[in-house]
Structure 1
Amino acid sequence: MDVFACAEKYVLEMFAGAAVCVHTGDVLECTVRRHPGYSSFRSEMMDDLVRRKGKRSKRWEALIAMGRLAEMGDDDTWKMAFIDCLSPVLRRRSRNISRDFGTDLEDVLSDMFEAVLLAWIETGHGCPPGGVRHYVIKSAYNLAHKRAKVDGGEQPFDAMDDFPSSVEDSFSFTMRNSVVVNDADVRDPVVAEQIRGERFGALLRKMGYGEEMTSFHQKIRDGLHPEISQRVLKSGVATRVWVDGVERYYYVSDFYPKFIGLRDAAKVMGIAESAAYRMLRDGDLPLPVNSSGRSYQVSVRALMSHMEIPDMVVHMDDVENGAGHAG
């Protein structure tokens, strides 16, 4: 079985002919006007891969950032798109390794796919944006070559003739533990859920966002945000779902804008804007950043996770009750 063919099929089914926005993930929210279908997008990424070789590419960095952001919501579509767009160069090297060592081509492809997934995890933090693609490709080449050796004497392939790069190959990779926040000492989950919603509603009212809250809730009731209820149901954290209906739940982050500028994100993080840009350039910024035109955007959900701000599930009735009480 060709695992890369399976990845391509999966991505095509997920995008289903829709326009692809690698800047924000949402065509309607993006300031860039042109958005091709996935097949055209894939061809453009392949051309960029060959033309720019080891040089930095904003397109590829945007694709990688979208992969990181989507993974936070248990969505691997963009990560698989990243792998699929790399598949032409990986396939070409796989054929060479299979021919040189007399190994089964599908086995070589599987080894490369495994290496790509491992390298994707390793480059999650501490790898400069421009170095991810190079590191992933080299890792795939090395592992496939190593496993294909028939007897001693050969060394793992590490000459990146097709992809010369000045990026250092040794990075300091660290994995950040996910944050789990529980509600104080409240033992009844229904009561804890109610308290969360009322506190959030009171906060919105005190900050002057009462009208925005009402409008947002009405859009959910009108079925304009079906993806919200699906995500909450998938998480399995709502306790009154069978009584009140899942469509009345949402995550706190759903109320906020999906992206904010790097300058605003730096303020939230308590660092200077110049420091944020320097950290972004060096690969030290602890959250994924995407580009839209000439500006950089930070996912609010990713920022909340980094700042250990719990992205709570709340019930609309509780939020409205809390807002009414605060009023």
Structure 2
Amino acid sequence: MPPLRTMLASGLALLLALLPAGTAWAEDLCAPSPEEAAVRFVQWSGGAEARRTAELIEPRSLAPFKQRLAQLMDARYSPDSEAFRERLLGPGWTAQRMAAATDKELVGQFLAGGQALRRDWKISGVRAIDSQRGLLDGREVTVSYQVESPTLGSSTQKRTFTAHPSPGNKCWLVQMPTESRVRLDEIAQALKASRPQVDIARAGPARADWLVAPASYTPKPGMKELAHRGEAGSSSSPAWVDMGAALLTAKDLVGARAAWDCEASFAGPEDPAIWLTLSADGSNALTEWTRSHHGATLAMVVNGQVAVIARVAGVLGSKLQMCLPGASLEQAQALANDLMGTPR
């Protein structure tokens, strides 16, 4: 009978042989220090292990990034969204697979796809050159590394990461790097350029009340207190509106178009907005008023509830944007149809 040590070694070898290709021990993913987490991120992102970088990202910053990424690849975002998804993730990534993917799976595939577009890059000499105390228990770590490319030549680059200890303080994880969030913003702008700029035209009387009027964040004589539509339609701080001095009403609207177009907080998906086109008379009235009331406050009211309130920072013209925080795109489209009197 073989010695116990030989049997254990053979059993371990068999177990390793049965593991799928690319499988790593959990300990391999655990960065014991903030500097190691930042260095690994750069090392992995520059090679065949780019997909694994998602394992180094904090869940609280990974989740909103995944939501924004999924939104950009949704066919309702842009006519080019599906082609972008196939080009970056691969033809096997259908809308259904994308919806079922975990945060790490989708973001990891995105990061791997980005590396595939830079396959001629070579990263070397990765090292942490600075580590400073950040907010709360965080650390700000700067990493230096060499990049070589046949097209761009050789250069020394630096990246700064914010790292925090994971629950239990066993490992360190980094926040989603700023460069990755900026990349999504660039992709979003490129996709929006392919959107058809076609408004829903006036088809009949509006089925929703809409107006723009002088307003205030604090009580003022002659102004009516109204609820202010908050996240997901909830009521936030009230606003006061001069309902008897409306500058515009629904009759001044000649076109409307709904799309995901408002920046959301925490780098998450965009909120839907309705772009409103004013008639010539409505546009002239708004231009004249805002030209002579710089710094004043205007509110956009829908069905007796303040949808938007803001200070006038410049002269407004023929287009207005109405953001709808927390609403679905379908709800925004339905409201656009109601404002234009489009048959349901």
Q: TM-score, normalised by structure 2?
A: 0.25
- More strand per residue: 2
Q: Indicate the structure with greater helix content.
A: 1
> Which is bigger in relative contact order (C-alpha 8 A, separation at least 6)?
1
TM-score, normalised with respect to structure 1: 0.26
Task: Tell me which structure has the larger Cα radius of gyration.
Answer: 2
